[in-house]
């Protein structure tokens, strides 16, 4: 794939890093996607090619991210490479390179459980990214057209559009598969076997096994990694897709309609009876052949109009099928805004608005493909009331309220009448006085996002 002019300029600048000797720089670009047997070039050369390593550095640096167990940040990576380039490349080439254990990090999930992430060191991320870039072109030719997660030029929006297509074709029943702790249960031997089907390169397979078995540091406790590919590594998304590509192949061979985004897989059929039959067969394959566990409590057979996929559900109107944010997504974003605008946080309005804007711009950009004009209008009104409440509480003293109300256009008599109200904060936020002074336009001029305008901009783009 052709790189952008900006990426080319960065690559030219980074070539002076010289991550490998001149001999390796003559290797063919990884964009060819050819296997060792077809091109005559080993994957060692593809991975350690100058252009590939420079691009890997750009990706790791651009993604930022936290430091691994050694404490090195992405900002220190350039200097480290410059001082240790020869030793680093040589150790990778002769397989003496030893990846560090990943640092265990747990983040809360919406259902109250925690997702386990593994944060590799930045040097490990660099090597993983270089390996992933060399492998990706080969597997892109092998992956299913119904797989969308962690793949170039594919997105969750594309997956949702495919779901809509299937529903319009008459597939009104969905099997919503849920795999229990998928990333933590991938079988290493099976994964390497699946890779070998497409890339039979011993050096590459040994490097991948090194990363798979590098272990985990949970605080001060070291844990062996006998299975799984920890979320957080640059190579993990590709490996996870390679593993579940076996499921994709089975579903395609049986003629099923399906959409998969990483470990989220929905299979579409025309009746519930067919759904339960397919679920039984696929569950046996997943647990027996792929050695992963189907979460029977969360796996469901039902209507796409009620079940959610990637945060969306479908809807049907006289104009046809449409997508919309699911109820859980709408409830969750409102809870987040409620937490941000909690009236005892003591943040300045600038900080508060910045936090709200960061949250809502990303949320609307993602869910903007869905039908939610009425919801956003209602959320806008509710959020402005929350802000008026927040501002009123911040004017703690009567004289402060009096002075600010006058600044906002009230007469001294009007301000004196209202500044000592005994109404509660939420009731006051809905009063005609604050609606008159802290108008929608005034709040927007202070920096509060107008979500309805943002949604309209996204949908008209």
Q: Which two tokens stand for residue 317?
A: 């109107």
Convert the pLDDT of each residue in 210-242 to its tens digit: 999 999 998 889 989 899 998 889 999 999 999
Mean pLDDT, rounded, for 142-150: 97
| pLDDT of 333 higher than 50 | yes
Mean pLDDT, rounded, for 70-94: 95
Mean pLDDT, rounded, for 311-316: 96
| pLDDT of 4 higher than 90 | no
| pLDDT of 310 higher than 90 | yes
Cβ–Cβ < 8 Å for 138, 32: no
Q: Following DSSP, what letter does each residue of 103-163 receive, concatenated?
A: EEEEEE-TTS-EEEEEE--HHHHHHHHHHHHHHHHHHHTTS-TTB-TT-TT--HHHHHHHH
Report pLDDT for 36. 52
Tell me 16's DSSP state. G
Cβ–Cβ < 8 Å for 323, 411: no
Q: Say if residue 80 is exposed, middle or buried (CB neighbours under 10 Å; 0-12, 13-18, 19+).
A: middle
Report pLDDT for 109. 74
| pLDDT of 18 higher than 60 | no
Mean pLDDT, rounded, for 428-455: 94
Cβ–Cβ < 8 Å for 235, 120: no
Integer Cα distance of 63 and 65 in angstroms:
6
Report pLDDT for 368. 96
Cβ–Cβ < 8 Å for 238, 139: yes
Q: How far is CA 31 from CA 1, 60, 133, in A?
A: 6, 19, 8
Return the sign of the alpha-carbon dihedral for residues 164, 165, 166, 170.
positive
| pLDDT of 295 higher than 70 | yes
Residue 253's CB is within 10 A of a number of other CB atoms, namely: 8
Integer Cα distance of 337 and 343 in angstroms:
12
Report pLDDT for 22. 37
| pLDDT of 308 higher than 60 | yes
Average pLDDT, the chain: 90
């Amino acid at each position: 794939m052709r790189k952008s002019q900006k990426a080319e300029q960065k690559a030219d600048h980074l070539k002076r890093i010289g991550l490998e000797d001149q001999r390796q720089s003559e290797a063919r670009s990884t964009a060819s996607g050819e296997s060792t047997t077809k091109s005559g070039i080993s994957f060692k050369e593809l991975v350690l090619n100058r252009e590939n390593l420079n691009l890997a550095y750009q990706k790791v640096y651009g993604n930022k991210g936290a430091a691994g167990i050694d404490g090195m940040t992405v900002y220190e990576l350039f200097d480290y490479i410059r001082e240790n380039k020869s030793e680093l490349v040589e150790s990778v080439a002769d397989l003496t390179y030893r990846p560090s254990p990943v640092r265990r990090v747990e983040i809360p999930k919406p259902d109250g459980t925690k997702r386990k992430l593994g944060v590799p060191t930045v040097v490990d991320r660099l090597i993983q990214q270089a390996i992933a870039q060399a492998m990706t072109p080969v597997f892109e030719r092998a992956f299913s057209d119904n797989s969308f997660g962690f793949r170039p030029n594919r997105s969750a929006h594309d997956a949702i559009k495919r779901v809509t297509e299937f529903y319009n074709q008459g597939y009104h029943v969905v099997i919503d598969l849920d795999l229990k702790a998928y990333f933590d249960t991938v079988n290493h031997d099976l994964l390497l076997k699946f890779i070998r089907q497409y890339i039979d390169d011993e050096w590459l397979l040994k490097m991948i096994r090194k990363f798979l078995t590098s272990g985990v540091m949970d605080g001060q406790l070291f844990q062996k990694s006998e299975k799984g590919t920890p979320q957080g590594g640059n190579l993990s998304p590709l490996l996870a897709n390679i593993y579940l590509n076996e499921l994709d192949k089975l579903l395609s061979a049986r003629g099923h309609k399906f959409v998969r985004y990483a470990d989220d897989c929905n299979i579409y059929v025309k009746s519930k009876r067919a759904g339960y039959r397919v679920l039984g067969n696929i569950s046996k394959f997943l647990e027996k052949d792929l050695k992963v566990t189907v979460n029977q409590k969360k796996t469901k057979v039902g209507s796409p109009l009620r079940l959610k996929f990637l945060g969306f559900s479908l809807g049907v109107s006289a104009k046809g099928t449409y997508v919309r944010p699911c109820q859980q997504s709408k409830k969750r974003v409102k809870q987040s805004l409620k937490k941000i605008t909690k009236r005892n946080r003591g943040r300045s309005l600038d900080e508060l608005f910045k936090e709200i804007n960061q949250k809502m711009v990303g949320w609307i950009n993602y869910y903007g493909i869905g039908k939610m004009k009425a919801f956003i209008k209602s959320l806008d009104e509710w959020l402005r009331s929350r802000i008026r409440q927040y501002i009123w509480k911040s004017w703690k003293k009567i004289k402060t309220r009096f002075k600010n109300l006058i600044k906002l256009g009230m007469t001294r008599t009007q301000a004196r009448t209202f500044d000592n109200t005994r109404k509660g904060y939420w009731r006051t936020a809905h009063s005609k006085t604050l609606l008159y002074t802290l108008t929608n336009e005034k709040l927007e001029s202070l920096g509060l996002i107008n979500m309805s305008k943002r949604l309209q901009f996204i949908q008209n783009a």
